[in-house]
Chains A and B, each alone.
Chain A
Amino acid sequence: MEFGLSESQQLLRDNARKFFAGECPMEEVRRLMETETAYDANLWNKLVEQGYTGIILSEEYGGVGLGKVELILLMEEAGRALLPGPLFSTVALAGAVVESVANDSQKKKYLSAICAGDARSTLAILEASPSWRPADLRMASANGKLTGEKLFVTDAAAADFIVVAARDGIFAVDVKAPGISISPMKTLDLTRKAYSVRFTNTPAERLGDLTGLPRALDIATAALAAELVGGMQRTLDITVDYAKMRKQFGKPIGMFQAVQHHCADMYLETESARSAAYYAAWALEENAPDAAVAVSIAKMYASDAGRTVGNRGIQVHGGMGFTWENDIHLYYRRAKASETALGDSTYHRERIATLVIDGGAASSQSA
């Protein structure tokens, strides 16, 4: 039993950290967030060269064929860098769903395009009355066509095809298909853009039924929890650096226990969120009986901790934390968006209750 990272996992994480620091420093994040889509073709090609778009996809489709633990390590580093653009939407959302529900020839078509860097994608689930439960979906296809509106679809304007969850199955829609209209929603998170996607008799290719959706969403949810962990870690690092440097009353503010204790809590929450996210990824990879519970534990904790770590980080920064100039609010905005995405902590607590109290799910044990 080993909860540390293997050498190759450490290498992947270190390389990703170096890559994002070099190719997407905060100046680049700030430049991209001011653009319409936050997507940059040049940066995307470099991500593809690293194999990041195909990280968990089979070699059959040109992917790297790594596991869920590697996926969340990559996402953690992307979160630390506050990477803008459709990597999460393409890989963790659309990629995971297609992989889980589509037939072989469809997988070959869509997943090969993702691995090769020829296509970006995203997943459309939420409607006017938002719910993350597949049972609450209202939109349905008629004669192979979709009509209706999906909301809060991340990175839709950068996508080449959109994976749509409807009541009667999962569909793929080409963004150039007739009757589709994509319009931006003005949201808090400037680095991950959200859109309304309206379909009017839009031709859609059916990929499969909804049976495989919960498993795919679990993978995406664990990845998002890990991305939150990366953001928390960066928020903690920025905050501790500031507390060591900023002086009041002739001393670094980090010398005061009131400030130290905020930082200690940020550390405790970041580490705890990391433990939960790593375990969720491992449980998914191994199809452990408690995988679904583990995913909900990870997202529940990361949703709340992402917010509270941000709260404390801003507080420790004092007036500087309230400025546009300081990077901390950019992480805070992402954390707020990710807090609700794929289910907030209330949603996941209820899911844990359903699995544990109603279902009597076996509690996990190492042994």
Chain B
Amino acid sequence: MDLSLNNEERQFRDELRAWLESNVPKDWAEWREKPLEESFPYLRTWQRKLHEGRWAAVSWPKEYGGRSATLMQQAIFWEEMARAQAPSMANALGLGLIGPTIIAYGTEAQKKRFVPKILSTDEVWCQGFSEPNAGSDLAGLQTEARLDGDHYVVNGQKVWTSYGWVADWCELVVRTDPNVPKHKGLTVLLVDMKSPGVEVRPLRQITGESEFNELFFRDVRVPVENVLGKVNDGWNVAVSTLMFERGSYGARLHLLFKRNIDRLIELSRNQHRNGQVSAKDPLTRQKLAQCYAEIEIMRLNQLRAFSRITATGVPGPEGSIQKIFWSELNQRLQQVAQELLGPYGQLTHGDSRAIDNGIWSYGYLRTRGNTIEAGTSEVQRNIIGHFVLGLPRSY
């Protein structure tokens, strides 16, 4: 066990830190709290800049524009991004989940066609996984694809699609064989969102914004060369995307959580509540300290998981503890923010008295989704029960 940086890691960090110092845009603070629809072009420009410096996808192999970074270097990457208060990237799903899946399962032609444009944000990606009747039971999805000559014809509906409104391409999971057990008849298609028959509708959510979309597919024709992986092996391809999602998301979120707890501590020092400075109130101190500690433990769990994956070579089901930990912690953090800010915590974006332009009232509602999206807490606990602890399957 040695948590200090080795020479390569230190070199990686120093190079990145220097690059960020001279390249992180100075006006990010003005954009940070704006709705994604407004800030998206800004984030696109930022990702292009990162890509020019070969920092957009450090985990990817060198031949695909990455740096073949080790997991520890990836952890360093996100810590340095947090430290530099750098903006997030526009094509987040393409970079974090879909690109790696294409690199793992794609044909040479697919990799050549799709991967560079993910990096440059010339093509933004979304995921077509969940359906109205297939959430936790993803393998029960009903969107069907029928072979017709050299095309698949897709019909069905997807829901909870992030970036659907801006996406050029979609990693779509469809049923290609309805006559076999549900996990065995699925296929992943790479679908051009401009194809005739694709309709994108905004899905207004609890926060009032439309971060997600509903996708409708009516006789959408997808060429057979856009099958990712093997026909009817889509479950494995999809699960590998989900593993990328659960395995590494914790490292990225550390950026956001650190900023939030640091900000809450700062606010507690500078505000009076019920006649005293919040930072002096024993209960407030207890709650801030609890959040601070849990954020640190989230980071440490992630580093330990990275070491384990480095040793075993594959992200395993224990990624589920990361998902449970960050999502439930984020909800607790937002509740502490509400208690700290009192009535000000409820002011929303646009109110002149809102603290930090209303991010705390927004965050309070938005984090309810954290324990639902990317696999509910219940599903994650099932995964731990069955795959980690070896308890018999419950369903």
Contacts and interface: CB of A to CB of B under 8 A. Distances in A.
Nearest to B380: A264
Contacts of B343: none
B319 to A, nearest CB: 12
State which size class the interface on B falls in. Answer: 35 or more
B75 A357 contact: no
Contact of B1 (A6, A293, A296): A6
A302 B6 CA distance: 30
A364 B288 CA distance: 16
A307 to B, nearest CB: 15
25 contacts: A1-B2, A1-B4, A4-B311, A6-B1, A240-B390, A244-B392, A252-B391, A257-B378, A263-B384, A265-B381, A271-B304, A271-B321, A275-B304, A278-B300, A294-B296, A297-B293, A349-B286, A350-B289, A352-B292, A353-B285, A353-B288, A356-B288, A364-B299, A366-B79, A367-B5
Given A255-B394, A263-B389, A353-B285, A278 B1 contact: yes
Interface centre among B4, B6, B9, B292 (most CB of A within 10 A): B292
B64 interface: no
Contact of A257 (B265, B279, B394): B394
Contacts of A268: 321, 324-325, 384
Contacts of A276: 293, 296-297, 300
Given A3-B306, A257-B394, A363-B258, A301 B3 contact: no
Contacts of B300: 3, 275-276, 278-279
Given A2-B2, A260-B391, A263-B385, A271 B301 contact: yes
Contact of B321 (A1, A240, A267, A352): A267
Interface of B: 1-6, 9, 13, 17, 72, 75-76, 79-80, 83, 258, 262, 265, 268-269, 279, 282, 285-286, 288-290, 292-294, 296-297, 299-301, 303-304, 306-308, 310-311, 318, 321, 324-325, 378, 380-382, 384-386, 388-394
A2 B289 contact: no
Given A240-B389, A367-B13, 5 more contacts: A272-B297, A352-B289, A357-B268, A357-B288, A357-B289
B286 A346 contact: yes
Interface residues of A, number: 53
Interface centre among A261, A278, A353 (most CB of B within 10 A): A353
Interface centre among B285, B286, B311, B391 (most CB of A within 10 A): B391
A297 B296 CA distance: 8
Given A69-B1, A240-B391, A255-B392, A357 B285 contact: yes
Contact of B79 (A243, A350, A367): A367
Interface of A: 1-6, 9, 69, 240, 243-244, 251-252, 254-257, 259-261, 263-265, 267-268, 271-272, 274-276, 278-279, 282, 286, 293-294, 296-297, 300-301, 346, 349-350, 352-353, 356-358, 363-367
A277 B4 CA distance: 17
A350 B297 contact: no
B79 A365 contact: yes
Given A282-B3, A350-B286, A352-B289, A257 B325 contact: no
Contact of A272 (B2, B3, B311, B325): B325
B296 A2 contact: no
Contacts of B17: 367
Contacts of B382: 257, 260-261, 264
A367 B74 CA distance: 11
Given A255-B393, A255-B394, A268-B324, A350 B285 contact: yes
